[in-house]
Structures are given as C-alpha cells and as structure tokens.
C-alpha cells in the first residue's frame, strides 16, 4: 500500500528558509564581534579644532615715518634687502657689541631662503620691516593685484620664516618709490610706511670712508639712517659700521626704532 507524503505549503517552506538564513547571519555577526575581554573597538579619532586665522593687525596712519620714536639724541638704524648669510650675521654681531638695535627691512624672497637669519634677527632684539617679495622698484606703477601680492606676500614670508606670528610694524617701498596706494595698503595691514632722513648711499659702494662721512654729515637727533645688509657686496657697509657705532656712542647717541 503506497502512503501519501504530506508536504507543507510552499509559503511555509520559504518562511523556514528565511528564518534559517537570518539565524546564520546573526551568529556570524556575533562571532566576528570582539569580546569584552578581547581587543576593544578602534577609538574614535579626536576631532580637529577648527582653524581660526589670526585677525589682521589694526590699521595705522599711512604717513611716512622719517624719525625715531623716542625724543632726544636717538637714532634709528635700518638695513635693507636682506637677510644675507655673508653680511647680516656680521652686522648683528657689531650691533650686539655696541648694545645697539636696528630695523631690518627684509625681502620675502630672501627670508624664504634664509629663515634662520630671520629668527636670529628677532632673537637679538631687532625689528622686522616688510620690503616686498621681489624688490620691484616700479611697484607703484603696477596693478592692484600685483601690489597686494608684493606687500602682503612679503609680510607672509616673514611670518613663515619666523615660524610663528611675529610683529612686522613697518613697510618700506623698494628704492623709496612711494605712492599713496602703497602706503595706504600697508597701513591697512598694520604697517607704517618707513622712509629715512639720512641716506648713507652705501648702495653705490663709494668706500667705507665715504659712507662714514655721509652719515656723520647728516645725522641729528631722531634720524632714521638707511643702510644695506644685502643686495650686493656690503663689506664697505660692515667696515663703516665698525667706525660709526662707537662714534655715535661717543656723540651721546642712543639707538632706537623708527
């Protein structure tokens, strides 16, 4: 006698199959999950704080600065076009020897090449001045975009070379070719426009004796003296300083900033 096999309806068979698959999946997930005694889950990386750029320095007056900031027999020495590894360290040593300070008007291109000299200048108690990126003597005739790139770019190069936020209180136009636009833009970025009252003309390389004579003839209380620590051979400037620094001290002058 043949017995009839009873089979469940198809819907029940599918339900059993699905339940089995769900059970197997759940067991696999539990097996892969680390136990409380085992390795802990990877820690969530800390959230980076949002970068907040430093606010720009407050604007200053755009008028040209030609005198030292202190009254009396004070002079402000300034050095342009550096820093330079051949001359800047020698000038710094002379300044330290005579307890003198100075302002270094640096090019951004030079600061990028010799950042260690930027930090050395600051460590010696000197001040920085933005002298543009590339010393374009016709900057006053350039486009607004180019002027902005040279002035703000020079300031930025000094910050990067120093490795931290540092004050740059002055801007000096290349070759002293000023315009209202240059001084206004510099003032908008917190830099006073630094000119001079005594041009040593050391950039013409007239000889150390002539540089000394030019400074002696023009110096007076409050003078801002233009010199160079780069932009060409400056052995004459270094030699002139060896005589000028003790002479200025002997005349009762002190050294300050513009």
Amino acid 173: pLDDT: 98
Instruction: Give the whole-angstrom CA distance, residue 167 versus residue 155.
Output: 9
| Structural domain spans, the chain | 64-255
84 is catalytic: no
Mark out the alpha helices in 135-250 (DSSP H runs).
Answer: 144-162, 180-188, 208-218, 235-250
Write down the catalytic residue from 87, 135, 228, 229: 228
Q: Which residues of the chain have pLDDT under 50?
A: 1-8, 10-12, 14-16, 22, 28-32, 34-42, 45-46, 48-53
Find the angle CA(200)-CA(77)-CA(208) to the nearest 5 degrees.
35
Selecting among 80, 84, 202, 229, the annotated active-site residue is 80
Entry pTM: 0.78
Q: What pLDDT score does 191 carry? A: 97
80 belongs to the catalytic site: yes
Q: What is the pLDDT of residue 57?
A: 72
Show the DSSP H helices in 163-233 as ranges.
Answer: 180-188, 208-218
Partner residues linked to 225 by β-bridges: 77, 198
User: Do residues 103 and 126 make contact, with C-beta atoms less than 8 angstroms apart?
Assistant: yes
pLDDT of the residue at 120: 98
**pLDDT, position 200:** 98
Four-way CATH pick for 64-255: 3.40.630.40, 3.40.50.620, 3.20.20.370, 3.50.30.30: 3.20.20.370
């Amino acid at each position: 006698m043949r017995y009839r096999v009873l089979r469940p309806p198809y819907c029940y068979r599918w339900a059993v199959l699905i339940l089995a698959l769900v059970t197997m999946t759940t067991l696999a997930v539990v097996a892969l999950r680390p136990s409380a005694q085992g390795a802990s889950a990877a820690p969530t990386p800390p959230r980076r704080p949002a970068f907040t750029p430093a606010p720009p320095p407050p604007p200053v007056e755009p008028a040209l600065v030609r005198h030292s900031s202190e009254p009396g027999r004070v002079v402000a020495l300034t050095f342009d076009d550096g820093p330079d590894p051949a001359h800047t360290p020698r000038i710094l040593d002379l300044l330290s020897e005579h307890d003198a300070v100075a302002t270094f008007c640096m090019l951004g291109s030079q600061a990028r090449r010799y950042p260690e000299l930027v930090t050395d200048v600051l460590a010696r108690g000197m001040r920085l001045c933005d002298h543009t990126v590339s010393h374009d003597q016709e900057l006053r005739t350039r486009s607004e975009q180019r002027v902005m790139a040279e002035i703000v770019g020079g300031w930025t190069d000094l910050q990067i070379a120093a490795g931290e936020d540092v004050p740059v209180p002055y801007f000096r136009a290349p070759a002293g070719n000023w315009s209202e636009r240059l001084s206004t833009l510099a003032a908008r970025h917190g830099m006073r426009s630094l000119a001079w009252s005594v041009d040593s003309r050391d950039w013409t390389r007239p000889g150390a004796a002539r540089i000394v004579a030019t400074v002696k003839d023009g110096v007076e209380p409050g003078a801002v003296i233009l010199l160079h620590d780069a932009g060409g051979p400056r052995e004459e400037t270094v030699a002139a300083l060896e005589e000028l620094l003790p002479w200025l001290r002997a005349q009762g002058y002190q050294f300050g900033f513009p």
